[in-house]
C-alpha cells in the first residue's frame, strides 16, 4: 500500500470503527482552499481551511478551522485562549506534531498526535453548525465528507478540547 493510501486508510478506518458515514473523493493534489473548492465542490457542504498555529510567547499550539473564505484574524482568535497573537507553525513542527504537511492539515490529523501535549481545536461556529463538512484525510489527494454531527462525534471520540469561536 502506498504511503498516501495508508494515511487515508488510517482516517477512513477510524471513521468506520466509529460507525461514521462518509464519502471519500480522490482527486489531484490541492494545496489551497480555493483549489479545493473548485475541484471538489459539493452542494450544501462547508468548505473549510485548517491552520496549525503557535502562541507567539509560549510553546502552545492550536488548530484553527474556519470556512474556506474567512480571514484568520490571529489576534482575535488568540484571545479565545488567553494569548496575544498566533503565528503559523513551521513545516517541521507541523509534521512532528500531526504527521502532515502544509496543504493536508485537518482535524483528522489529530489521530497522529504524539507526546503528552494535545493541541486544542478552535473551530468557527459556522463550521461547527454546518450540516456537512469536508476535510483532507491527512493527504491532499483526497477529501472526506462527513455530517457536522459526525465531525463532533469524531472529536468526542478522541477527547479533543474544542473551543467554538465567532
**CATH, residue 113:** 3.90.960.10
Q: What is the pLDDT of residue 30?
A: 84
Q: What is the pLDDT of residue 103?
A: 87
Q: What is the pLDDT of residue 61?
A: 96
pLDDT, tens digit, 9 for 90 and up, residues 56-67 = 899 899 999 999
Domain count, the chain: 1
Residues of the chain with confidence (pLDDT) below 50: none
> What is the model's pTM?
0.92
Q: What is the mean pLDDT of the chain?
A: 92
CA atoms within 13 A on the CB side of 53: 24
Q: What is the pLDDT of residue 114?
A: 81
- CA–CA separation, 166 and 164 (whole Å): 7
What residue numbers bound the domain in which 38 lies? 3-165
CA distances from 160 to 10, 95, 119, 140 (A): 18, 19, 8, 23
Q: What is the pLDDT of residue 40?
A: 79
Amino acid at each position: 500500500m502506498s504511503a498516501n493510501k495508508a494515511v487515508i486508510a488510517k482516517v477512513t478506518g477510524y471513521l468506520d470503527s466509529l460507525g461514521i458515514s462518509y464519502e471519500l473523493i480522490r482527486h489531484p493534489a490541492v494545496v489551497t482552499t480555493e483549489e479545493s473548492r473548485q475541484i471538489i465542490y459539493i452542494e450544501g457542504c462547508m468548505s473549510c481551511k485548517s491552520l496549525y498555529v503557535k502562541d507567539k510567547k509560549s510553546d502552545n499550539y492550536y488548530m484553527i478551522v474556519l470556512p474556506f473564505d474567512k480571514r484568520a484574524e490571529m489576534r482575535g482568535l488568540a484571545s479565545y485562549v488567553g494569548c496575544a497573537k498566533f503565528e503559523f507553525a513551521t513545516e517541521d513542527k507541523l509534521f512532528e506534531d500531526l504527521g502532515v504537511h502544509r496543504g493536508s492539515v485537518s482535524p483528522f490529523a489529530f489521530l497522529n498526535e504524539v507526546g503528552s501535549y494535545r493541541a486544542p481545536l478552535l473551530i468557527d461556529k459556522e463550521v461547527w453548525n454546518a450540516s456537512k463538512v469536508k476535510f483532507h484525510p491527512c493527504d491532499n489527494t483526497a477529501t472526506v465528507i462527513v455530517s457536522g454531527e459526525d465531525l463532533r462525534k469524531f472529536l468526542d471520540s478522541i477527547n479533543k478540547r474544542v473551543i467554538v469561536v465567532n
